[in-house]
Chains A and B, each alone.
Chain A
Amino acid sequence: MASISPASDNMAISLRGVSKHYGALHAVDGVDLAIPRGEIFGIIGHNGAGKSTLFKMMLGLVPATQGEILVGGASVTGRHFRAARRHLGYLPENVVLYDNLDGLETLQFFAKLKHAPMAQCATILDRVGLTHAGKRPVREYSKGMRQRLGFAQALLGTPQVLFLDEPTNGLDPQAIRDFYATLRDLQSEGVTVIITSHILAELQQRVDRLAILAAGRVQAVGSVEALRQQTRMPLTFEIEMIASDVPAALQALAPLATLAPESIPTGLRLQCPREQKMAVLAALTSLGDRVRDIKLLEPSLEDVFFGFSA
């Protein structure tokens, strides 16, 4: 086992040169990641990009073909795997829990296996808003309630790292808000969260950093803002004006290398490189009150994602 460098002490997760090969298929290929403690970290990618395999390796469910994986500074597959795993919480994608048990029994079952205190079960059930349904069998639960119970299970014990695979599947908007509020609370307690979601708009506002995975490789890592800078994606302006003022506007903007101006029912839409933002604004200001409103649209995480994974 390689010695742990001082830098990795602050890392909840560190992957070095991690690959998983199934014959000729390279499901995960040379991934390096360092996720500091207390971060909410997103992993996004198409189906088959290697997200699940990466998750399974970090959880110690499948061995890496090569590379080193440390979770909380320790290996999750080594001799001390029990101690290491007691501090992990995991919510698999689309998990179906046991229909015959009620909510509280489900948590008690997992608490026993995780050596978590029994008294914690009721507290956590309350934390995910299921106290009223604690004595009802899981078969009567709605999809959202099942998902919340799955999340509750992941919170048992004192998890230092949470692995959440599509955790908001089936949750209504209010429940999604509550869910992320809980994540923020956990983060303030020092918990690290690794999260995947297909709903990129949802992650965009809520993760500290994220990795874009495609074909088993990490294409980019950083905050949403940093990734936007990296892609050098243009900004979009929507300028509200009456149609007869559009030619004047185009004239004012002509000296700038604006991209693809087009008429829209409310006026004019155009794109410009990030560094020309202020120049475009200045040109528009010169038009005085002919400009009724300006909307400035940043590229969304979805745009960034397609920029990297295309």
Chain B
Amino acid sequence: MEFAPIFTIAAKEFHDRMRNRWVLAVALVFTVFSLVIAYFGGAQQGTVGFRSIEFTIASLVSLVIYLIPLIALLLGFDAIVGERERGSLDLLLALPITRLELLLGKYLGLAVALTVSTVAGFGLVAVLLFKHMSGAGLYHYAGFMLSSVLLGLAFLSLAVLLSVLARDRTRASGLAIATWFFFVLVFDLLVLGLLVATGGQFAGDAFAWLLLLNPADVFRILNVFSLEDVRTLYGLASVVPTSLGSPAIMGGVMLLWIAVPLILANWRFKP
């Protein structure tokens, strides 16, 4: 494997997303949503205005869990199948580069675009809220940003896998939406259904391990466990064993969610 072609392809992908203002638009979406949540997140409880960074993070987690997977899937579904449909995939693969280099270049370029917009969007909020934050608050917020980036990268990896598997762009976009529905809306219901259907026999640790099969849940666990005050806000926190509470283990699981789809994508990648 050579790195030069990976960087060349990554640079092109990133510049594309800068040039068409994708990075700017997504960063703005993150900033605006987080500010709205920070100031009006407690409106249902009858209060308006900034409360605490813990509450803000807890609200942001439930926003990000919907938004970031969707954005990442929409960003990545086109990566390979788009080239295939344009006829440029054969051209790229006839160059002195390998399929893996093309795949990694595409992924890296899109990953940088997603990371820059996530960090810029939420980072701007951190700057604006700086005077409200304690040292611990900043630490948690940094953890939230890092886990958001990892969540995005995991779903981007899934998107690239779909892009390799799908025969055309239409199917790829359908698969991307289906993937979003499954992991963000359906998966937790299925797990809950399983829990109820088995009359609780399946509960406990075994149930909790199932959550690792969904990067969105991994993200939730990561953030919920980093916030002592907030654990109680989520019913989930009470069923998750503390062995899963280690940020290092959850971070590792997230890295697996980034690596495994890419490995599968490289395995299934045919011209």
Contacts and interface: CB of A to CB of B under 8 A. Distances in A.
Interface in B40-59: none
A163 B94 CA distance: 10
Interface stretch (A95-103, A183-191, A208-216, A220-228): A95-103
Contact of A85 (B16, B19, B90, B95): B95
A37 B261 CA distance: 44
Nearest to A58: B94
A110 B95 contact: yes
A264 to B, nearest CB: 45
A56 B94 CA distance: 9
Contacts of A115: 96
Contact of A88 (B12, B90, B94): B94
A110 B97 CA distance: 11
Interface in B161-220: none
A112 interface: yes
A60 B96 CA distance: 11
Contacts of A60: 94
A56 B95 contact: no
Interface string B79-96: 000000011101111111
Nearest to A150: B91
A85 B8 contact: no
A14 B9 CA distance: 32
In this complex, the interface size class of chain B, counting residues with CB under 8 Å from chain A, is 20 to 34
B24 to A, nearest CB: 15
Given A61-B271, A113-B8, A113-B9, A92 B95 contact: no
Contact of B96 (A86, A94, A153): A86
Contact of A95 (B2, B5, B88, B270): B88
Interface string A107-142: 001101111000000000000000000000000000
Contacts, number: 64
Contacts of B91: 90-92, 95, 153
B243 interface: no
Contacts of B93: 61
Contacts of B271: 56, 61-62
Contact of A90 (B4, B8, B9, B90): B90
B5 A113 contact: yes
Contacts of A110: 95
A59 B94 contact: yes
Contacts of A81: 96
B20 interface: yes
Contacts of A92: 87-88, 90-91
A100 B8 CA distance: 16
Interface in B222-271: 270-271
Given A100-B16, A100-B19, A100-B20, A95 B94 contact: no
Chain B: interface secondary structure?
helix
B16 A113 contact: no
A56 B96 contact: no
A178 interface: no
Contacts of A153: 91
A94 B91 CA distance: 11
A82 interface: yes
Nearest to B2: A82
A8 to B, nearest CB: 22
Nearest to B101: A113
Nearest to A81: B96
A90 B88 contact: no
A298 B136 CA distance: 89
B88 A114 contact: no
Interface string A75-86: 000000111011
Contact of B95 (A62, A91, A97, A113): A113
A32 interface: no
Interface string B1-37: 0101100110010001001100000000000000000
A304 B4 CA distance: 49
A68 interface: no
Given A56-B271, A113-B8, A97 B94 contact: no
A163 B9 CA distance: 23
Contacts of B97: 113
Nearest to B88: A95
A59 B90 contact: yes
A94 B85 CA distance: 10
A82 B90 contact: no
A28 to B, nearest CB: 15
A112 B9 CA distance: 9
Interface string A127-167: 00000000000000000000000000100000000010000
A88 B93 CA distance: 12
B86 A95 contact: yes
Contacts of B4: 112
Interface of A: 56, 59-62, 81-83, 85-86, 88, 90-98, 100-101, 109-110, 112-115, 153, 163
Interface of B: 2, 4-5, 8-9, 12, 16, 19-20, 86-88, 90-97, 270-271
5 contacts: A61-B90, A62-B271, A86-B96, A91-B91, A95-B87
